[in-house]
Amino acid sequence: MNRSLKFYSCALLILTSADSYSNEITNYGDIKIKANTVIFDEVRNELLLEKNVLIRFGIYTIIGNQALLSYEKKKLMIDGSPASITSKDGNVNGTAKSFIIYPNFSLEMLGAAKLFEDNNSIYAEKITYQIKSND
């Protein structure tokens, strides 16, 4: 009985946290997250996603091997080999060893980063990209 209560409490906390997080980014519509394994660390207030991580918001899709959503640090970190970002319209795509996304949708691409937007291309160890609010 105690394990069931803990499980449902954690599930409720995750759903409540996800709802409050998604309310902060209403300009981007729903965020959809898929992963083979999802672990919520109540003590650290973090959500760990492992294996086949797929994150969709607005017109963007991010794919990685592992992701960590830190509610306290207010950032989503995605690791991959490499991790990638694409847009439905094909105007934006890129890869890097890891991504960090902040609530204002500033995206840091770290490690062998490549970003292609329209006819522009950037190659660097670190790229900071501001996702446009009208996308």
Mean pLDDT calculated for residue range 6-12: 46
Interval 93-111: pLDDT, tens = 999 999 999 988 889 999 9
Distance CA(135)–CA(120), nearest Å, equals 18
Tokens of 60: 């963007």
Tokens of 112: 């062998």
Compute the half-sphere exposure of residue 78: CA atoms within 13 Å on the CB side of its CA.
28
Number of Cβ within 10 Å of residue 68's Cβ equals 19
Nearest to 85 by CA among 99, 105, 74, 75: 99
Distance CA(135)–CA(125), nearest Å, equals 25
pLDDT at position 1: 43
| % the chain with pLDDT above 90 | 49
Tokens 């660390």 locate to 41
Sign of CA dihedral 103, 106, 109, 113: positive
Mean pLDDT calculated for residue range 8-19: 46
Domain 2-130 -> CATH class: mainly beta
Distance CA(133)–CA(135), nearest Å, equals 6
Interval 30-81: pLDDT, tens = 678 899 999 999 899 999 999 999 999 888 999 999 999 998 998 999 999 8
Tokens of 10: 């954690």
Vertex 13, ends 30 and 79: CA angle to 5°?
Answer: 60
pLDDT at position 3: 46
Domain boundaries along the sequence of the chain: 2-130
Task: Name the pLDDT band for 133 (thresholds 50, 70, 90).
Answer: low
